């Protein structure tokens, strides 16, 4: 992924975006993990990294192995006597600092409620790595369940042994307990909801921004929502791009080489990986609020009967998607087979989580698909096997039985989604309980985790975002002070 320098104007846009949503990112296609990769691109020395000795296997009391897990603290707004603890949950990507931007919803909430912000890097990502390499054997302790116990073990120790004791109140000898509120976006939004579900004694409430709580094996609804959010003209133009790319690949030889070179995808020797990258670059333009940058040039080209539609699309992949969102090389099977630990890479780890637990496989719908029909269940099953050298496959029914799927029965969790975000199809958008409200934000570029980070270049309806944030703040205050 291309990384702007701290002085680059691109950073201002990047800081507005959400793996995270992230953290970081989510990869079968347009994975939510990318959110977290936007959050902070350089180390802020105002918030030094700290380390926690974490249990490797929370499910085996006989296993005494541990690893070092990185965390950050932002206490600039904290009332040490009465302020709550905001546990900002990170997902599938490296972390280089706590939320600290004045435009970040986590920061504005911390200012409003005089909270301390603490954020823990997810196991196996960034520098929080238990082993010297990411072999299949070593990855066995990477799961959402282990991650939830990480959070519980950490926050109990942090509030009891790192923070100063709260003041004595009411009767002599009686002390208050630190109130903990969790916040997360995308996969970590799901973790936020699941943490409240599994550890209600530790938290008083949770925000699940674009929280993908429903593990979906055959996720065709993702592509369908991309088409809906793009609009008919743009969706038709994207279908033309896909068809032209398919024609070039099928022709082989120089045609195949030329189309891959045009899109900077020469390393994608597996054509399935190429079509996956093509679909992802389209979806992420919608998902992260770059609707105009993606759609307007393509629609104009179609209206003008342009014959170079692939070239027009390449301008988007090279100058928008490639700058802010990703790089084609990450989609290569060979890239994901590499077991070397690299603090800045997350693809292999996230594929492991999807291939063994969560899925979210964004397959092509049978009718009206934007993505190639070659992005299907056969591709995903083959890809999982090729990446890990074994027939790994997720049991999504078991995952949803454990957490509840679309009926995650936690209390005091607010689910927040943006109208353009295709990941809402794996989230909760309609409240089925008074104790589990939903907030839905509608605008042309209200994408993934929009409440946390806003929209690139500003939301088309800023009032919609402001109103949503006000609703969320009211819920947070209610649950903190009950």
Catalytic residue among 36, 122, 291, 448: 448
* The predicted structure's pLDDT at residue 479: 97
Is 421 an annotated catalytic residue?
yes
How long, in residues, is the chain? 482
Query: What is the per-residue pLDDT across 356-379, written as a single tens digit (0 to 9) for each?
Result: 999 999 999 999 999 999 999 999
Give me the half-sphere count of Cα atoms (radius 13 Å) on the Cβ side of residue 388. 25
State pLDDT tens for residues 218-246: 999 999 999 999 999 999 999 999 999 99
Give the per-residue pLDDT at 268. Answer: 98
Say which of 210, 421, 427, 451 is annotated catalytic: 421
186 is catalytic: yes
Q: Give the pLDDT score at 469.
A: 98
Q: Are 36 and 95 in contact (CB under 8 A)?
A: yes
Give residue 21's pLDDT: 54
Rg (CA), the chain: 22
Calpha distance 474→44 (Å, rounded): 31
Q: Is position 254 annotated as part of the catalytic site?
A: no
- What are the pLDDT digits (tens) for 9-25? 333 333 334 334 544 33
pLDDT single digits (tens) 383-413: 999 999 999 999 999 999 999 999 999 999 9
- Three-class SS state of 100: coil
Residues of the chain with pLDDT under 50: 1-20, 22-43
Q: Order of strands, edge to edge, in the sheet holding 66-74?
A: 50-55, 66-74, 116-120, 85-89, 180-185, 205-209, 413-418, 438-441
Given the structure tokens 């072999």, which residue do they identify?
A: 135
Distance CA 93, CA 186 (A): 12
Token look-up 């070397």 returns: 340
The pLDDT value given to residue 52: 98
Looking at residue 167, its pLDDT comes to 79
Catalytic position from the list 186, 192, 369, 427: 186
Number of neighbouring beta carbons within 10 Å of residue 229: 23
């Amino acid at each position: 992924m291309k990384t702007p320098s701290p002085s680059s104007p691109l950073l201002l846009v990047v800081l507005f975006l959400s793996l995270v949503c992230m953290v970081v990112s989510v990869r079968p296609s347009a994975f939510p993990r990318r959110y977290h990769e936007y959050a902070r691109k350089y180390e802020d020395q105002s918030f030094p990294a700290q380390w926690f000795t974490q249990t490797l296997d929370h499910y085996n009391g006989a296993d005494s192995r541990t690893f070092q897990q990185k965390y950050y603290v932002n206490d600039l707004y904290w009332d040490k006597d009465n302020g709550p603890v905001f546990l900002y949950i990170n997902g599938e990507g490296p972390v280089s600092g706590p939320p600290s931007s004045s435009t970040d919803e986590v920061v504005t909430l911390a200012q409003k409620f005089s909270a301390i912000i603490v954020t823990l890097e997810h196991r196996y990502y960034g520098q929080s790595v238990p082993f010297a390499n990411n072999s299949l054997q070593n990855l066995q302790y990477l799961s959402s369940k282990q991650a939830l116990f990480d959070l519980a073990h950490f926050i109990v120790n942090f509030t009891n042994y790192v923070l100063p004791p709260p003041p004595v109140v009411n009767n002599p000898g009686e002390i208050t307990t630190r109130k903990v509120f969790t916040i997360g976006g995308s996969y970590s939004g799901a973790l936020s909801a699941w943490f409240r579900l599994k550890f209600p004694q530790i938290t008083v409430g949770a925000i699940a921004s674009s929280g993908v709580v429903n593990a979906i094996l055959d996720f065709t609804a993702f592509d369908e929502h991309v088409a809906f959010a793009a609009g008919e003209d743009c969706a038709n133009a994207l279908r033309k791009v896909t068809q032209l790319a398919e024609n070039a690949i099928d022709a082989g030889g120089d045609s195949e080489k030329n189309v891959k070179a045009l899109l900077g995808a020469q390393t994608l020797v597996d054509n399935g990986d190429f079509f996956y990258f093509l679909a992802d670059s389209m979806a992420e333009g919608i998902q992260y609020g770059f609707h105009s940058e993606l759609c307007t040039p393509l629609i104009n080209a179609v209206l003008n009967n342009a014959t170079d539609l692939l070239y027009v699309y390449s301008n988007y992949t090279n100058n928008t998607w490639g700058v802010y969102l990703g790089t084609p090389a990450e989609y290569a099977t060979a890239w994901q087979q590499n077991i070397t630990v690299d603090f800045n890479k997350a693809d292999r780890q996230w594929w492991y989580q999807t291939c063994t637990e969560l899925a979210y496989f964004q397959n092509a719908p049978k009718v009206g698909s934007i993505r190639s029909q070659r992005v299907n269940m056969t591709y995903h099953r083959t890809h999982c096997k090729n990446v890990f050298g074994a027939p790994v496959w997720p049991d999504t029914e078991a995952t949803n039985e454990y957490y509840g799927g679309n009926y995650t029965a936690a209390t005091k969790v607010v689910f927040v989604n943006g109208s353009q975000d295709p990941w809402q199809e794996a989230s909760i958008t309609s409240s089925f309980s008074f104790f589990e409200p939903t907030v839905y934000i509608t605008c042309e570029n209200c994408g993934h985790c929009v409440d946390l980070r806003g929209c690139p270049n500003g939301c088309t309806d800023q009032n919609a975002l402001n109103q949503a944030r006000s609703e969320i703040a009211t819920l947070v205050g209610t649950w903190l002070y009950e």
